[in-house]
C-alpha cells in the first residue's frame, strides 16, 4: 500500500507540473505603460509620437500620461540624446494631474534631481567655457614648448660642435706652443 501511495503522489506531481508548464506559454507578457520601451522604436520616434498626442489632445488624460512618458524618455539612460531641461518641463506639466504626486517618492526624487541639474547648468556651462579656454591655451603652450625644445636641441648641437672645435684649438695651441718652445731652445 505504501508503494501504491508514492506512485499516486508522483503521478499527481507530474500532472500538476505538466499543467503549469503547458500554461506557461499562454501567459501574456506584462507591459508597463509608464516605462518607455526602446527596443521597438528609437527614442526620437517615440518622442515625436508622444508630442503628437500632447498636441492633438491638450487637456486629456492621454496627454498628461504622454507628458510623463516624455519626461521618462528625456531622462532615460537608454536615450543617447538626453535632455534634462525638457524632462523637467514635461514632469512639471504632468505633476498637477497626478493625484498622488506628493506621495510618489520616485516622482518627487526625479523632480528634485532634475531641478538641481537645471540649477547647476549655468555653473557647469561657465566651467565648460573656462575648460575650453584653458585647453586652447594649453595647446598654444604645447606648440611653444615644442618650438623651444627644437631650439634647445639645435643649440645643444651647436654647443657640442663648438666644444669639439675648442678641443681641436686647444690641441692645436699646445702643438704650436711645443713647436715654439722647441724652436726657441734650438
- Which three three-digit cell numbers place residue 144? 611653444
Q: What is the DSSP string of 65-102?
A: HHHHHHHHHHH-TT-TT--HHHHHHHHHHHGGG-TTTT
Q: To the nearest whole number, what is the mean pLDDT of the chain?
A: 80
Residue 184 pLDDT > 80:
no
- Which three three-digit cell numbers place residue 30? 506584462
143 vs 137: CA distance, rounded Å = 10
- Which three three-digit cell numbers place residue 4? 501504491
pLDDT of residue 123: 85
Is residue 86 domain-resident?
Answer: yes
* 62-74 mean pLDDT: 91
115 vs 84: CA distance, rounded Å = 9
pLDDT single digits (tens) 4-56: 666 666 667 665 556 555 544 444 333 344 444 444 468 888 989 999 998 98
54 vs 49: CA distance, rounded Å = 9
pLDDT of residue 2: 64
Lowest mean pLDDT across 10-19, 31-40, 118-127, 176-185:
31-40
Burial of 67 (0-12, 13-18, 19+ CB in 10 A): buried
27 vs 102: CA distance, rounded Å = 35
Contact 50, 69 (CB under 8 A): yes
DSSP for residue 38: -
Is residue 7 domain-resident?
Answer: no
Q: Which domain holds residue 70?
A: 43-130
Is residue 123 domain-resident?
Answer: yes
pLDDT single digits (tens) 70-90: 999 998 888 888 888 899 998
Is residue 57 domain-resident?
Answer: yes
Contact 128, 122 (CB under 8 A): no
Q: What are phi and psi of 11, to 5 degrees?
A: -65, -45
- Which three three-digit cell numbers place residue 113? 534631481
pLDDT of residue 163: 94
Is residue 77 domain-resident?
Answer: yes
Higher-confidence residue of 101 and 152: namely 152
Is residue 109 domain-resident?
Answer: yes
107 vs 90: CA distance, rounded Å = 12
Is residue 72 domain-resident?
Answer: yes
149 vs 161: CA distance, rounded Å = 18
- Position 151 confidence tier, pLDDT thresholds 50, 70, 90: very high
> What is the domain count for the chain?
1
Per-range mean pLDDT, top range of 2-11, 38-47, 109-118, 159-168: 159-168
Percent of the chain with pLDDT over 70: 76
Output the pTM of the full model: 0.46
The set of residues, in sequence order, having a beta carbon less than 8 Å from that of 87 and lying 6+ positions away, is 70, 71, 72, 73, 74, 75, 110, 114
Higher-confidence residue of 5 and 134: namely 134
Is residue 186 domain-resident?
Answer: no
Amino acid at each position: 500500500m505504501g508503494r501504491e501511495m508514492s506512485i499516486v503522489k508522483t503521478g499527481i506531481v507530474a500532472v500538476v507540473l505538466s499543467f503549469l508548464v503547458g500554461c506557461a506559454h499562454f501567459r501574456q507578457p506584462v507591459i508597463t505603460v509608464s516605462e518607455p520601451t526602446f527596443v521597438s522604436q528609437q527614442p526620437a520616434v517615440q518622442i515625436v509620437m508622444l508630442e503628437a498626442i500632447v498636441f492633438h489632445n491638450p487637456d486629456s488624460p492621454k496627454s498628461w500620461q504622454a507628458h510623463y512618458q516624455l519626461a521618462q524618455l528625456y531622462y532615460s539612460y537608454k536615450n543617447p540624446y538626453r535632455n534634462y531641461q525638457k524632462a523637467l518641463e514635461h514632469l512639471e506639466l504632468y505633476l498637477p494631474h497626478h493625484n498622488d504626486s506628493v506621495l510618489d517618492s520616485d516622482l518627487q526624487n526625479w523632480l528634485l534631481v532634475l531641478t538641481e541639474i537645471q540649477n547647476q547648468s549655468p555653473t557647469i556651462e561657465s566651467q565648460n567655457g573656462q575648460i575650453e579656454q584653458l585647453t586652447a591655451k594649453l595647446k598654444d603652450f604645447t606648440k611653444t614648448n615644442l618650438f623651444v625644445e627644437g631650439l634647445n636641441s639645435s643649440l645643444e648641437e651647436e654647443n657640442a660642435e663648438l666644444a669639439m672645435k675648442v678641443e681641436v684649438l686647444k690641441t692645436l695651441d699646445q702643438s704650436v706652443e711645443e713647436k715654439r718652445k722647441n724652436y726657441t731652445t734650438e
